[in-house]
Amino acid sequence: MATAPAPVTVAGTVAMTRRRRLARTARRVGYYLLVILVCAVTFSPIYWMIVTTIRPVTANLRFPPQLWPTAIDLSAFRALFDHEPIEQWIWNSTLLSLMATLICVVLAVLGAYTLSSMRWRGRGAFAIFLLMTQMLPEALIIVPIFKIYRDLGLRESLPGLSLIDAAFVLPIGVWILKNMFDTIPKEVQEAARVDGAGPFRVLFQIVLPLTLPGLVAVGVVAFFYTWNEFLFAQSMIGDDGLKPASVGLASMISMLDTPIERLLAAGLIFAIPPVIFYVVMQRYVIAGITAGAVKG
């Protein structure tokens, strides 16, 4: 009686563990399939862009297309630089974005400091004012902005364009920095003040050095908001020599004879800088865009 059930139990346990292990493996495989699905949905358009750009033309102009490259041909990039003024576009975009970034960073530091470190009547109203401007669609004021720019002679000018771009990205800049400033313990600033430091010394010697990543994040967001911006650029700039890359690229769409791999090569060059910077600065940027309302 006592000995008989023992082997049965052992065999049963072995069978059970095997079945359980199999179920666990199946679940893990299923889980990884889900992960792969998510990544595929996210990445496949970018993958396709890269594949189309780096393979020979003949591979692109056939249906059904092969889903992976079998030969590498980078001549699209050479043709791009030979046939389109892409250096000019990139240079214009860089200048434009630098100007907007400068304006945005300077003003955002002031705004974030007064929102984060000071208590004053009207602070809440100021915050709401910033939020409302952040919500405003650019297209709703394109008509009056266009008329104002025309009357002031600010059209066909990159500095003029950078002014309006900065106005739209500024609120996000303030939120990103305010979030960062809020992470500094109040006591640190208090202590400096007790030691006789004025508010600007506190800002420049204590707050800003501690929140450098936030400052960089604001720079990144402002730079690439302007870099990507299309509506204002398209409406204000008609001169070929002043076109920023977003407008230049869009103008390539309507040129029907542009080969697809050249078009996509241009798009890729334009997209790589923001993607790299955003991947690095992701954490700070997300918090700013959701206006710090998402806790944790």
Partner 1 sequence: MTTRAETMTATAVDRALEGQRRRRLPWLLPYLLALPIIAYEGVFILYPIYQGLRSSFFRQQIGMPEEWAGLANYERLLGDTAFWGVMGTTIIYMVAVIAAAIGVGLGSALVLNRAFRGRTLARAMMTMPWSFPDVPTVLVFLWILNPSFGVINVFARLLPWIEENPTWLLDPRLAFVSVVGITAWKGFPFYSLVILAALQTVPSELLEAAKIDGASPRQAFFAVTLPAISPTLLLLTVLAAIFSFKQFTLIWLLTGGGPSGATETIVVRIYSTAFRFYDFSYAAALGVAGFLLALTVSLVFLAVQRRQDMEAG
For partner 1, the binding residues in 197-236 under the rule CB under 8 A are: 197-199, 224, 227-228, 230-231, 235
Q: How far is CA 32 from CA 25, 35, 39, 40, 68, in A?
A: 11, 5, 10, 12, 22
Compute the least distance from the CB of residue 3 to partner 1, in Å.
36
Q: How far is CA 126 from CA 115, 116, 120, 141, 182, in A?
A: 8, 12, 10, 21, 17
Contact flag: residue 153 with partner 1 (CB under 8 A):
no
CA distance 265 to 52: 9
Mark residues 157-186: x for contact with partner 1 by CB under 8 A, - for none: ------xx-xxx-xx--x------------
Among 96, 99, 100, 145, binds partner 1 (CB under 8 A): 145
CB 284 within 8 A of CB 180: yes
Contact flag: residue 52 with partner 1 (CB under 8 A):
yes
Among 57, 79, 95, 131, binds partner 1 (CB under 8 A): 131
Tokens (6 digits) for 253? 């769409």
Stretch that binds partner 1, among 8-16, 18-26, 37-45, 76-84 (CB under 8 A): 37-45
Q: Which is nearer to partner 1, 122 or 153 (CB)?
A: 122
Q: Please list every residue from 76 through 95 that binds partner 1, using CB under 8 A.
A: none
Stretch that binds partner 1, among 14-22, 45-53, 74-82, 207-215 (CB under 8 A): 45-53
Query: Where are the alpha helices (H) located in 75-184, listed in sequence order?
Result: 75-83, 86-117, 123-135, 142-152, 158-182
Tokens (6 digits) for 179? 């979030």
Q: Which is nearer to partner 1, 138 or 182 (CB)?
A: 138
Task: Say if residue 265 is exposed, middle or buried (CB neighbours under 10 Å; 0-12, 13-18, 19+).
Answer: buried
Among 88, 184, 193, 213, binds partner 1 (CB under 8 A): 193
Contact flag: residue 148 with partner 1 (CB under 8 A):
yes
Q: Please list every residue from 1 through 30 that binds partner 1, using CB under 8 A.
A: none
How many CA atoms lie less than 13 Å away from 169 in the CB half-sphere? 29
CA distance 284 to 278: 9
Stretch that binds partner 1, among 12-20, 133-141, 176-184, 210-218 (CB under 8 A): 133-141
Q: Please list every residue from 237 through 276 that binds partner 1, using CB under 8 A.
A: 246, 249-250, 253, 260, 263-264, 266-268, 270-271, 274-275
CB-based contacts of 144, cutoff 8 Å, min separation 6: none
